[in-house]
Each structure stands twice: as structure tokens, then as C-alpha cells.
Structure 1
Amino acid sequence: MSEIEEEAFKIIQSKPEGVLQSELWKVLDIDSRKCSRIVKKLTDSEQIERIEYKSDGVKTYLLKARKRAVNPSLLLAGGELLPCIGCEEECTVEECPYLMDWMYQLAIEEFSEG
């Protein structure tokens, strides 16, 4: 991905409600044709979705980043699922003993593999 494509993707990703394509090219300080080519590459690679949108009676597109599926292996350590999933405890990340134990197990696994 080129630098300008990465920048466009980051802008789109930073706005969960979406970014209008007619605004994106202005923010990137590029012409609308170049912006269209960048948007096409991002939609073809399924990183964003492009939704038809009318703004002040003018047709444009709303661009939204697609949510990627989480790699399940990132939620496991020592065969144990990330303890925060489904947890109902009232704690903070810095003080959660379940999370600390899980992270310790993850560190052991990484050290053992290295």
C-alpha cells in the first residue's frame, strides 16, 4: 500500500461514522480523480466499503472501514481464552489478576517458542 493510500485508510478508519469521499480528497490535498483511484484500491482490497450518499442534493459516497475478523489465536494463551471475554468483574486493566495471569502465560509461550 502506498503512503497516500495508508493515509487515506487511516483517516477513514479514524471516523467510525464514515468519511465522505468528497471531503477525503480535500483533506488529503489531492484531486478527486486521484482520490477515486485510491478509494477503488481500498474497496477492491476490501479494506473499506463505499456507500452511495446524497449531500446537499449532490451524490457522493460515504466511506467506512470494514471491521476485520479477529484472529482467534490472538485471544488464546496456554490454551486459555482471554479472560476479559465474558467477564463481569468491575476491575481495571492494570489491576486485573485474571488478565495478568493470562498475559504471564502468553509471555511464557513466546519465550518458549523463541
Structure 2
Amino acid sequence: MSDQEEEAFKVIQSHRQGVLQSELWKLLDIDSRKCSRIVKRLLDAGLIERIEFRSDGIKTYLLRAKKRAIDPCIILAGGEVLPCIGCDQECTPEECALLLDWMYQLALEEYQ
């Protein structure tokens, strides 16, 4: 991904409700034609979705980042799921014994 594509993707991700394509090129300080090419590449890569949108009678597109599936390996260590998922204890991550044990197990797996 080029620097401009990466920057465009970050801008789109930062707007939870999406960003209008007609605004994106202004935010990126590029011309609308170049923005269209960047949007096409992001669409082809499956990173964003484009929804037709009418603003003051003018057709444009709402761009939203697609949510990607999380790799389950990220939340597993030693066959155990990250303890914070579903945790009802009120603690701080720096002082949570369950989380520290889980992280220790993860470090051991990386070392081996």
C-alpha cells in the first residue's frame, strides 16, 4: 500500500460513521481524480466499502472501513483466552494478576 493509500485508509478508519469521498480528497489535500484512484485500490483490496450518498442533490459516496476478523491467536496464550474478555473485576491492567499470568504464558510460548 502506498503512503497516500495508507493515509487515506487511516482517515477513513478515524471516522466511525464514514467519510464522504467528496470530503476525503480535501482532507488529503489531493485532487478528486487521484482520490478516486486511491479509493478504487482500497475497494479492490477489500479494506473499505462505498455507499452511494446524496448531499444537497449531489451524488457522492460514503466511505467506511470494513471490520476485519480478529486472528484468534492474538487472544490465546497457552490455550487460554485473554482473561479480560468477559472479566467483571474492577482492576487496572498494570495490576491484574490474571492478565499478568496470561502475558507470562504468552512470553513463554514466544521463547520456546
Counterpart amino acid of 1:103?
Answer: M
Matching of residue 63 in structure 1 with residue 63 in structure 2: yes
Q: How does 1:11-50 map onto structure 2 within 5 Å? A: 11-50=11-50
The count of aligned residue pairs is: 112
Q: Unmatched 5+ residue regions in structure 2?
A: none
Q: How far did residue 15 of structure 1 move?
A: 1.1
Give 1:95's aligned residue. 95
Over the aligned positions, Cα root-mean-square deviation in angstroms equals 0.9
Q: CA separation in 1, counterparts of 2:96 and 2:104?
A: 12
Aligned residue for 2:49, secondary structure, equals strand
TM-score by length of 2: 0.95
**Identity fraction in percent:** 71
Amino acid at match of 1:38: I
Structure 2 CA distance, aligned partners of 1:73 and 1:50? 30
Q: Displaced runs of 4+ in structure 1, greater than 3 A?
A: none
